[in-house]
Amino acid sequence: MSTHVKRAFKCRFYPTDVQAAELSRTFGCVRKVYNLALQARTEAWQHRQERVNYNATSAMLTGWKKSEELAYLSEVSSVPLQQTLRHLQGAFTNFWAKRAGYPTFKSRKKSRRSAEYTSSAFRFRDGRLTLAKMSEPLEIVWSRPLPEGSTPTTVTVSQDSAGRWFVSLLCDDRPAPMPATDAAVGIDVGITSLLALSRPIPGLTDEQGKISNPKHEQKDRARLAKAQRNLSRKAKGEGRNRAKARLKVGRAHARIADRRTDFLHKVTTALVRENQTIVIEDLAVRNMLKNRTLARAIADASWSELRSMLDYKAAWYGRDLVVIDRWFPSSKLCSACGTLRGKMPLNVREWTCDCGTTHDRDVNAARNILAAGLAVAACGDGVRPQRSTPGGRSSVKQEVVPPPRSHAASQPQG
């Protein structure tokens, strides 16, 4: 049975000069309203210990439009302005629930340029999308069709640092489940090898079961550094030369990000297609990024995005994603006899157990991860096998993450 999900379809489009000007005004107004509302909510809390909600900021927006100084807010569609107030409300909800830090002000140069339109602010007919305040539809390059019979519920227009325009259409979809299979795989992430699998997969891994790390940022580091040096030499301000230099930096970053995302999509789709059960570790990537020696390499590997893709693709296509606790000693445990070794520095890539078995550190870890995940899947969610570790930890937590009934489009985590 297919799973009902909200799925975003992102395409590139090419606006006319009039449309680009209208969207740029909208982006500016969205940023202004967000900052005004954030300032009002911050002052209300600091001075009166009062929590201002969405309804109050919506009423403030009406007053701002009537003022002489902010009358230009009435020149753009009101829907993106209301949506940014809803986004701010969500940011405060996450803050009060201690899921995120305090919301920050949006910068004209550094913040994402985007505007969100609900169904009342756009018209979608016969594959042609027309936004509010515009007389002509957007010239969209459709990279893939929308689900048959589906109509967008929300449209988000954005412009990236490379100057490219994108439109993301959120639609209801029912992805067809992939054919069932008995195959299962354990995954150990790394830097030298992006992934080590518990078994080789023809066409995806090498003979050992490893997928090499393409290191997109490292390969383009010289190009990016040159663009950044060129930008640093330009006089600060709004000059054309500085704008051109900033655009080159944005294009260098976009090239790295696009190639990385494309590679991760291909790898995760292949893993989900070939396996019914996928077992991974619950890594604290945010904490690992505090390691100044490895932070750049870890960020380039993008383990969080890999985990996110596996998460929602498994949900879409009827696969099981099992997540084991980060303290499980996968590298130090012999997958042949179960002997737990003592300390094992990162520079030890191969080791021989007392039973005579020689292990590749990463492949052995992947096999242990798979075994632990299958044990949890067999016993049921919530099983916590007792394992002692050199650090004195016990009762290693392991959990099964089954496909949810509904899942929104992919969002970066952690």
Indicate which residues carry an active-site annotation: 188, 281, 362
Q: Report which of 64, 57, 59, 63 is spatially closest to residue 42, judged by C-alpha positions.
A: 57
- How far is it, in rounded angstroms, from Cα 90 to Cα 104? 13
Owner of token pair 């077992």:
279
- How far is it, in rounded angstroms, from Cα 270 to Cα 203? 10
End-to-end CA distance of the chain: 30
Hey, which bits of 202-258 come out as E strands? 210-212
How much of the chain is helix, strand and coil, in % rounded to 5?
A: 40, 20, 40
Q: Report which of 174, 128, 125, 124 is spatially closest to residue 153, judged by C-alpha positions.
A: 124
- Left (φ > 0), alpha (ψ -120 to 50) or beta: where does 63 sit? alpha
The strand pairing partners of 156, in sequence order, are 116, 168
> In sequence order, which residues have a C-beta less than 8 Å from that of residue 243 and are 6 or more positions away?
none
CA distances from 296 to 74, 217, 290, 291, 412 (A): 44, 9, 10, 9, 18
- How far is it, in rounded angstroms, from Cα 176 to Cα 318? 9
160: DSSP letter: -
Which long-range contacts does 177-180 make (Cβ < 8 Å, 24+ apart)? Answer: 177/1, 177/2, 177/3, 177/317, 177/318, 178/272, 178/273, 178/317, 178/318, 178/319, 180/276, 180/318
Q: Report which of 187, 161, 156 is spatially closest to residue 257, judged by C-alpha positions.
A: 161
- How far is it, in rounded angstroms, from Cα 106 to Cα 31? 6
- How far is it, in rounded angstroms, from Cα 188 to Cα 210? 9
Surface-to-core class of residue 191, CB atoms within 10 Å of its CB (0-12 exposed, 13-18 middle, 19+ buried)? middle
Q: Kindly state the tokens that stand for 29.
A: 């107004």
